[in-house]
Amino acid sequence: MKKISFFIILLIFISASCSNNKEKKYISFSNKALGTFYNITYFDKNDRNLQIQIDSVLDKFNMSLSAYNPNSIISKVNQNVDVELDDYFLNVFYQAKYFYEITEGAFDISASPLFSAWGFGFGNKEKITPELIDSLKQFTGMEKITVVDGKIIKSNTRVNINANALAKGYAVDVVADFLLSQQIENFLIEIGGEIVVRGKNKNSEKWKIGIDKPYDGNLNTGETLMNTIELTDKAIATSGNYRQFYIEDGKKYAHTIDPVTGYPTQHSLLSATVIAADCMSADAIATSLMVMGIEKAKAFLNKHPEYQAYLIYEENAEYKEYSTIADN
């Protein structure tokens, strides 16, 4: 499932000092990666600029999980080419299986053909009929694809996967692990709106992350904030319906497709922001909650307290909030 790039605006303060009154010089840089952009800020006592090394890490990651790269491992899997699976792919695959199970199919990376049919994937939008949806659903479902002896086994060659709904989050985790390996413990990493923060910002405070108000067509990130969250040593991701949609015959079709029904969701939940220990989980669960809708999302969060969430939904033409976020 496609996620919203830059859905979250980062509120990073520029001027600050350490307790010893010596200014901490944080390093910041941005670049393209994984079909979107990244922004990284960190403090390094050795004042190293690690952008080249981070770009190298992301290039390797891209060769594994980017469905936009025809030579990546995931693309070759979809092309039914015999390919050796690396650790990146296997980690994502097994986690996707786990999320598929705990969300009862709301999270399904094998639903790629459905997204394409509705115009939100890699193929051209098709004329939707119940017969088309039923035919595509024959080739979706994570039980139809497994790994045996390090090789992908499909029940049918038409089974196709797209890991966009958790790959960007996982990429953030990978970069975070790299910075930690360099003894860097104060940082913020954002890739396409998915974030990991650790330690403190330049003000020696928790990192401050703003959440946009989810009105249709709001492309001005940070202009109208619904809320601000203070966070450290956690991952955060947001999914929503107000930037990727189209109107056809007077009806709105959002990019959140329910893999169980095969149709775009039609409910009051507008955006879901999830805090978790790792960004891959936050990414996947935010997507899943958007599929579930507000009442099922509440029930899921009650059952899985390891995920904290801030939900924005509409009721009687007004924005409403539901939050399980404790003091982070």
Domain spans, the chain: 61-164
Report the half-sphere exposure of 167 (CA within 13 A, side-chain side): 27
Residue with tokens 């946009």: 212
Q: How many CB atoms lie within 10 A of CB 31?
A: 12
Residues 277/235, Cβ–Cβ less than 8 Å: yes
Nearest in space to 12 (alpha carbons), one of 34, 36, 41, 38: 41
Q: What is the pLDDT of residue 181?
A: 98
Q: What is the pLDDT of residue 23?
A: 59
Structure tokens at 167: 């790959």
Distance CA 315, CA 222 (A): 23
Per DSSP, the three-state class of 256 is: coil
Distance CA 278, CA 234 (A): 7
Q: What is the pLDDT of residue 328?
A: 59
Q: What is the pLDDT of residue 141?
A: 95
CATH of domain 61-164: 1.10.3980.10
Residue with tokens 């098709």: 126
Residues 24/201, Cβ–Cβ less than 8 Å: no
Q: What is the pLDDT of residue 265?
A: 85
Q: What is the pLDDT of residue 21?
A: 35
C-alpha radius of gyration, the chain, whole number: 20
Cβ neighbours of residue 148 closer than 8 Å, sequence gap 6 or more: none
Strands (DSSP E) contained in 128-177 are: 145-148, 151-154
Q: How many CB atoms lie within 10 A of CB 250?
A: 5
What sign results for the dihedral spanned by CA atoms 278, 214, 225, 32?
positive
Residues 195/236, Cβ–Cβ less than 8 Å: yes
Distance CA 286, CA 13 (A): 27
Residue 272, strand partner residues = 239, 311
Low-confidence ranges of the chain (pLDDT < 70): 1-23, 121-124, 126, 215-224, 242-255, 327-328
The burial of 37, by beta-carbon neighbours within 10 Å (0-12 exposed, 13-18 middle, 19 or more buried), is given as: middle
